Amino acid sequence: MSSILQLLTVALLLYAGCSDAASHCGDCGNTSVPYPLSTGTNCGDQSYKIRCTAGSLWFDTLNSTYPIESINPSTQRFVIRPASFAGNTCITTDFNSHGIQLNSSLPFNVTSSNTIFYLNCSNALLGSPLNCSSTSLCHTYINATSEAAACEQARLCCSFRAGGSTTSYSIRVRNEGCMAYRSFVNLDYSLPVSMWPAPGVEIQWVSPSEPVCQSQADCDEGSNSTCQPDPSSAGLKRCFCVTGLSWDPISGSCVNNATCQTSGGCNGSTNHTPLIAGLTTGLGATFLAVAVGTLVYQRRRRIKEAQERLAREREEILNANNGGKSAKIFTGKEMKRATNNFSDERLLGSGGYGEVYKGILKDDTIIAVKCAKLGNTKGVDQVLNEVRILCQVNHRSLVRLLGCCVELEQPLMVYEYISNGTLYDHLHGLHPGIRSELTWLRRLSIALQTAEGLAYLHSSAVPPIYHRDVKSSNILLDEKMNAKVSDFGLSRLAETDLSHVSTCAQGTLGYLDPEYYRNYQLTDKSDVYSFGVVLLELLTSQKAIDFNRGPDDVNLAVYVQRKVEEEKLMETIDPMLMEEASDRDLETIKAMGFLALGCLEERRQNRPSMKEVVEEIDYIMSIAAAKAAEV
């Protein structure tokens, strides 16, 4: 039996690769710490920090600390023990720190394997998408366990699955919402409560990139990886695997899927020579083949299961349409044919998380196909989030979702093709169209249509939606120069029991609400601020961030506000507009300038809502149109 174990051990070593390209952390008590998790400064990946204290592992959130109960390196997940009830109350002990709050800029997120019960909730939750009915699973839990006895007479009890766009990074408790929660991982609803697993919250980590290095000495001692510049991060170097080997983020090493081919065995060492020689026997080869075959089979099965789960999630998103125009599920074959197998000739644009291709369906409908980059978890999340958002909205000023593909490995979103470039392109001469097309009335129309789309998200969508990345490059123009708001990858659903959503500031420099940047509180007024910058772009034809302006005026909002304080607003207006403008137009141009400044107020309470912005632009436009008709 021991010889068999030796053979299997060697098989595992050969499958894992010839040499580790990253430093693994030592065990914490009786628990091994898999790569990339890091318990020290000299091991693991420093973006994946956890703590080892007194032989136990702990996970730090933004505002609290939770013990790690188990780790599964193959699925890149671990389970933390959530807070318990405080005494004989229906309040969890992390109530004062507002529950589990992950830092969304770190590579950890709450998985959709968690079934969450919110306990002791206010009546405001009745308007939420959660299941707060008397037949919810949450009530089954309360009625069948002494642990939650104090919650029997408490307020509402709601159930939901975590991992959606608003729950990927938090399980929030607070007085105005819910005061307690319970979470169960991979809960089988058919089982009685007595057979449920212990409470836990499953956390997933994003696959790590190759280790960071400054010189070759920071990489492995052999020749399996070399320290080279990271093409995706300026100034950063990583240990990239040499030709013939590939990076395995689970083992944290460069792997050869077959066997080590170097004459000295793994890592160029002769230490394994006796065992490798033993594998030349028929029995050894048989065990090796079985071990490697089993590992390959299990890996393929995990990949297939993950793809099936992803496909189910995409279908559920499309089928859970809440008022928006129903979308279609496209086949992988249709998408490959439409985009000429995603050829470079069809590439419309590329971002940090994916690419957009032009496609032509069999009925000659022209489409745009947005693809998440393979292996980029955040890119996958963004595309799925965009699908989830657009399934709930349908407005003439928002880009329309046509459907998505569930067959291919990376998520594909299909939406209407807008053929005339972006507002940014037209304002800054990056589109073959003539900038003189942007007359004053046309700019007013674009501003009004964009504002109407955002107002719809804030006031008519249920729950409300915060776009979070309003900018001129996300405003598409069709052949008639009508505006369509696009790119909902960063958008967030508002939580019905909260005045804001707490999240790390994301967006584009020059458009970010300074108050959102300071306190991480996202509201509809954050979009209002960004829209104010777009209004300034329409008025000035200048970029939101431009280093060709003076060092104190790089930021367009700051530049225009300074000019206003000097009573020189009109000096900032696009000279092309000023040349064409009559004295009658100057009044409406000034009015639009002061509306933009109102959107840029430092305190969000002083900014108008998007509905108020729509009304004001509509009024300004009616005056401008009437004066144009008089000419």
Report yes or no on 508 lying in a domain: yes
Q: Are residues 467 and 387 in the same domain?
A: no
Report yes or no on 285 lying in a domain: no
Report yes or no on 348 lying in a domain: yes
Q: Are residues 435 and 499 in the same domain?
A: yes
Report yes or no on 13 lying in a domain: no
> What pLDDT was estimated at residue 350?
75
> What pLDDT was estimated at residue 598?
94
> What pLDDT was estimated at residue 429?
76
Q: Give the Cα separation of 625 and 629 in Å (integer).
A: 6
| Residue 108, amino acid | F
Q: Give the Cα separation of 400 and 390 in Å (integer).
A: 7
Half-sphere CA count of 20, side-chain side, radius 13 A: 14
Please give the structure tokens belonging to residue 81. 């023990």
Answer yes or no: are the C-beta atoms of 61 and 100 closer than 8 Å: yes
Catalytic-residue membership of 469: yes
Q: Compute how many other C-beta atoms are within 10 angstroms of the C-beta atom of residue 35.
A: 24
> Per-residue pLDDT for 219 more than 70?
yes
CATH number of the domain within which 613 lies: 1.10.510.10
> What pLDDT was estimated at residue 230?
82
At residue 495 the predicted structure's pLDDT band, cuts being 50, 70 and 90, is low
At residue 398 the predicted structure's pLDDT band, cuts being 50, 70 and 90, is very high
- Higher-confidence residue of 63 and 520: namely 63
Answer yes or no: are the C-beta atoms of 456 and 395 closer than 8 Å: yes
Encode pLDDT of 45-89 as tens digits. 888 999 999 999 999 998 899 999 999 988 899 999 999 999 889
Q: Are residues 346 and 449 in the same domain?
A: no
Q: Are residues 436 and 581 in the same domain?
A: yes
> What pLDDT was estimated at residue 338?
93
Report yes or no on 395 lying in a domain: yes
3-state class (DSSP) for residue 274: helix
Mean pLDDT of 532-546: 95
Only one residue has tokens 């496909």, namely: 311
Strands of 108-110's sheet in order across: 51-53, 56-60, 65-72, 77-80, 201-205, 108-110
At residue 389 the predicted structure's pLDDT band, cuts being 50, 70 and 90, is confident
Q: Are residues 606 and 509 in the same domain?
A: yes
Sign of CA dihedral 219, 223, 227, 230: negative
Q: Are residues 398 and 467 in the same domain?
A: no
> What pLDDT was estimated at residue 18?
39
Which range among 336-340, 374-378, 400-404 has the greatest average pLDDT? 336-340
Q: Are residues 427 and 497 in the same domain?
A: yes
Mean pLDDT of 370-375: 75
Domain boundary among 416, 448, 464: 416
> Per-residue pLDDT for 553 more than 60?
yes
> Per-residue pLDDT for 306 more than 50?
yes
Task: Report the range of poorest mean pLDDT among 14-23, 147-156, 616-625.
Answer: 14-23
At residue 353 the predicted structure's pLDDT band, cuts being 50, 70 and 90, is low
3-state class (DSSP) for residue 13: helix
> What pLDDT was estimated at residue 310?
57
Report yes or no on 129 lying in a domain: yes
Only one residue has tokens 């489409």, namely: 367
Report yes or no on 555 lying in a domain: yes
- Higher-confidence residue of 234 and 538: namely 538
Domain boundary among 350, 383, 416: 416
> What pLDDT was estimated at residue 158?
87
Task: Report the range of poorest mean pLDDT among 73-87, 240-254, 284-298, 596-610.
Answer: 284-298
Q: What's the mean per-residue pLDDT of the chain? A: 80
Q: Which domain holds residue 363?
A: 321-416
Please give the backbone phi and psi of residue 202, each rounded to the nearest 5 degrees, phi first. Answer: -85, 130
Please give the structure tokens belonging to residue 230. 């990271």
Answer yes or no: are the C-beta atoms of 41 and 27 closer than 8 Å: no
> Per-residue pLDDT for 28 more than 60?
yes
Mean pLDDT of 4-21: 40
Domain boundary among 384, 416, 448: 416
Q: Are residues 364 and 486 in the same domain?
A: no
Q: Which of 251, 401, 438 is nearest to 317 (CA)?
A: 401
- Higher-confidence residue of 174 and 304: namely 174
> What pLDDT was estimated at residue 494?
66
Mean pLDDT of 103-128: 84
Mean pLDDT of 11-24: 47
Percent of the chain clearing pLDDT 70 (strictly above): 77
Q: Are residues 77 and 146 in the same domain?
A: yes
> What pLDDT was estimated at residue 497?
43
> What pLDDT was estimated at residue 134?
79
> Per-residue pLDDT for 4 more than 70?
no
> Which segments of 107-150 does DSSP mark as H helices, in order?
137-143
> Per-residue pLDDT for 277 more than 70?
no
Encode pLDDT of 414-452 as tens digits. 989 998 889 998 998 766 666 667 899 999 999 999 999
At residue 264 the predicted structure's pLDDT band, cuts being 50, 70 and 90, is very low
Report yes or no on 311 lying in a domain: no
Q: Give the Cα separation of 256 and 330 in Å (integer).
A: 36
Q: Are residues 407 and 529 in the same domain?
A: no
Q: Which of 469, 487, 574, 585 is catalytic?
A: 469
Answer yes or no: are the C-beta atoms of 158 and 118 closer than 8 Å: yes
- CB contact burial 59-94 (16+ within 10 A = b; e otherwise): bebbebebebbebebebbbbbbbbbebbeeebbbeb
Percent of the chain clearing pLDDT 90 (strictly above): 34
> Per-residue pLDDT for 14 more than 70?
no
Task: Report the range of poorest mean pLDDT among 308-317, 486-495, 538-547.
Answer: 308-317
- Higher-confidence residue of 205 and 378: namely 205
CATH number of the domain within which 361 lies: 3.30.200.20
At residue 544 the predicted structure's pLDDT band, cuts being 50, 70 and 90, is very high
Q: Give the Cα separation of 234 and 575 in Å (integer).
A: 37
- CB contact burial 431-457 (16+ within 10 A = b; e otherwise): beeeeeebbbeebbbbbbbbbbbbbbb
Sign of CA dihedral 572, 578, 583, 586: negative
Q: How many domains does the chain have?
A: 3
The pairing of strands 328-330 and 401-405 is parallel
Q: Are residues 397 and 464 in the same domain?
A: no
Q: Are residues 436 and 397 in the same domain?
A: no
> What pLDDT was estimated at residue 532?
97
> What pLDDT was estimated at residue 500?
43
Mean pLDDT of 91-97: 92
Answer yes or no: are the C-beta atoms of 453 and 390 closer than 8 Å: no
